[in-house]
Amino acid sequence: MRFTWVESGGGPLVVVPEALLVRWAGAEGDGPEETWGDYGRACAVDGYIGLVPVGAGHALVLGDEPATTTYLPDERAFLRWSAADSEAALVAAAETALRSSVRWDEELT
């Protein structure tokens, strides 16, 4: 495979800036999921993307389903593998789509 892909054990994927990694506490506690600290807040994101506070900044939550994900550095985009026969086909389709006039459903700053 050309790219490094990451997977989840079932929860959301979270992208934390390197400078904030020391502030990410993960899951804390054993009560309801929403009380599990940083991880609980990430699980509470509704939709495809969201932000959660981490220290003085934010982490990006890739919500919805925990699809296998990679980062396309040339396009500056995360690519989630929901349906494709091969990595090459998936990446080619994404690159083509991202180079056309894409209309984003959600936007974060």
pLDDT tens, 45-102? Answer: 988 899 999 999 999 999 888 899 999 998 889 999 988 999 999 999 999 988 887 7
Backbone angles phi, psi at 45, to 5 degrees: -65, 130
Count of beta carbons in the 10 Å neighbourhood of residue 12: 19
- Give me the pLDDT at residue 3, please: 94
Can you read off the two tokens belonging to residue 25? 């506490």
Q: The sheet that has 49-54: what strands, in order across it?
A: 13-15, 57-62, 49-54
- Looking from the CA of 64 toward its CB, the CA atoms found within 13 Å total 11
- Looking from the CA of 2 toward its CB, the CA atoms found within 13 Å total 10
- Give me the pLDDT at residue 30, please: 75
How far does the chain reach from its first CA to its final CA, in angstroms?
Answer: 31
- Apex 77 CA angle, 74 and 82, nearest 5: 120
